[in-house]
C-alpha cells in the first residue's frame, strides 16, 4: 500500500488532457496570448513614436498664426 502524498513515477511521458479542441493546454494558450500582447505593445510604441515625430496640423497652424501676428505687429510699428 502506498501512503498518501507519494507520487509514483512510472514513466517520463507527460499525459496531456487537452482542455481546448486544438490540443494546447491552458498554460500554452496563455503563453501564446502573452507573446501576442507583447508584440502588440511593441507595435503600438513604434506607431506612437512615428506619429509624434511629425508636427500635428494644430502645431503648424499655431506657428503660422504666431509668425503672421508677429509680422503684422512689425508692419504696424514700422
Q: Give tens-digit pLDDT for 15-44.
A: 555 555 778 888 989 999 999 999 999 999
Reported pTM? 0.46
C-alpha span between 46 and 40 (Å, rounded): 10
Alpha carbon distances (Å) from 72 to 36, 46, 61, 62, 67: 55, 41, 16, 15, 9
Tell me what the mean pLDDT of segment 1-24 comes to.
57
- With cell 505593445, the residue in question is 41
Comparing 45 with 55, which gets the higher pLDDT? Answer: 45
SS3 of 32-64: the string is HHHHHHHHHHHHHHHHHHHHHHCCCHHHHHHHH
Comparing 6 with 39, which gets the higher pLDDT? Answer: 39
pLDDT of residue 25: 86
Amino acid at each position: 500500500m502506498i501512503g498518501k502524498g507519494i507520487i509514483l513515477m512510472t514513466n517520463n511521458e507527460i499525459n496531456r488532457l487537452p482542455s481546448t479542441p486544438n490540443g494546447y493546454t491552458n498554460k500554452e494558450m496563455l503563453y501564446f496570448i502573452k507573446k501576442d500582447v507583447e508584440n502588440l505593445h511593441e507595435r503600438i510604441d513604434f506607431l506612437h513614436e512615428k506619429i509624434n515625430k511629425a508636427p500635428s496640423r494644430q502645431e503648424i497652424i499655431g506657428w503660422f498664426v504666431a509668425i503672421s501676428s508677429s509680422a503684422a505687429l512689425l508692419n504696424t510699428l514700422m
